[in-house]
Structure 1
Amino acid sequence: MSKSVMSTEATDLKPPRDDPITVEELSKSDGTDSSKPTLVAIKGTVFDVSGNPSYGPSGNYHVFAGKDASRALGKSSLKPEDCRPEWSDLPDKEKGVLDEWFNFFSKRYNIVGKVAGASNL
């Protein structure tokens, strides 16, 4: 990823929320219904990525929308089967990549809740 993309930070983020969001609610927020926000979860934390068309239905990162994509982000994978919350068995290098993505999202997107019952925090 280019340095300019990684350094882009939102300056008007709202205070983080910890509202419980069920897996079903998350799955319905995949960018296909314009009446719902587009959400991506990482390590059980839910981010609102609605303003970024890359997560929309025709975007490069749509595979992550409506899911906890922790494993896929750690593995730098766009495979749908990797878009799942389990990441604790990843090698340390991939855990580090996941942490970098979590920090990137935290600086760029509003945190709108936590996945209800998440055990991958």
Structure 2
Amino acid sequence: MSGKFEPKQKVELDPPKDDPISLDYLSKCDGTHEGYPTYVAIKGTVFDVTGNKAYEPGASYSVFAGKDASRALAQSSLKKEECRPEWEDLKPEHKKVLDDWYTFFSKRYNIKGKVATDSANL
């Protein structure tokens, strides 16, 4: 089972960071702001997907960029309104899908930090 989400080619990842990342900063990491990386957050963990064309503006997964897309990923939805962090109320099968996405991302993308719950302190 552990090999289920392994990337086809070896990925060298940096040690995960737990820096607080404000929602304002995260929103600028959507691929449309020059000088900013492209981030996707899952369950509050921020992954750097910069360089993956699927998350660039207009691409298939661009809807997830710059936000915590937990709910949408859990429900396999590409709807913009579903790209939000609330996932705790989902059915167990959706939570499993979300956990699988988290595992998938954690094997491919560097963890840059955690979404700050109190952005006023940043």
**TM-score after normalising by structure 2:** 0.88
The 3 A distance-change label for structure 1 pair 105 and 14 is same
Match of 1:57 in 2: 57
* Structure 1 residue 6 displacement after superposition: 6.7
Are 1:68 and 2:68 matched, yes or no? Answer: yes
Match of 1:94 in 2: 94
Q: Distance in 2 between matches of 1:58 and 1:33?
A: 14
Structure 1 residue runs of 5 or longer lacking an equivalent are none
Q: Distance in 1 between matches of 2:100 and 2:18?
A: 21
Residue 47 of structure 2 contacts residue 110 of structure 2 at CA under 8 Å; is this kept in 1? yes
* Structure 1 residue 51 displacement after superposition: 1.5
Q: Note the aligned Cα RMSD (angstroms).
A: 1.8
* Structure 1 residue 110 displacement after superposition: 0.3
SS of the residue aligned with 2:104?
helix
Instruction: State how many pairs are aligned.
Output: 115
Taking the TM superposition and a 5 Å limit, the aligned residue runs for 1:103-114 are 103-114=103-114
**Identical amino acids, percent of aligned pairs:** 61
Taking the TM superposition and a 5 Å limit, the aligned residue runs for 1:1-121 are 7-8=7-8, 10-117=10-117
**TM-score after normalising by structure 1:** 0.89
Structure 2 residue runs of 5 or longer lacking an equivalent are none
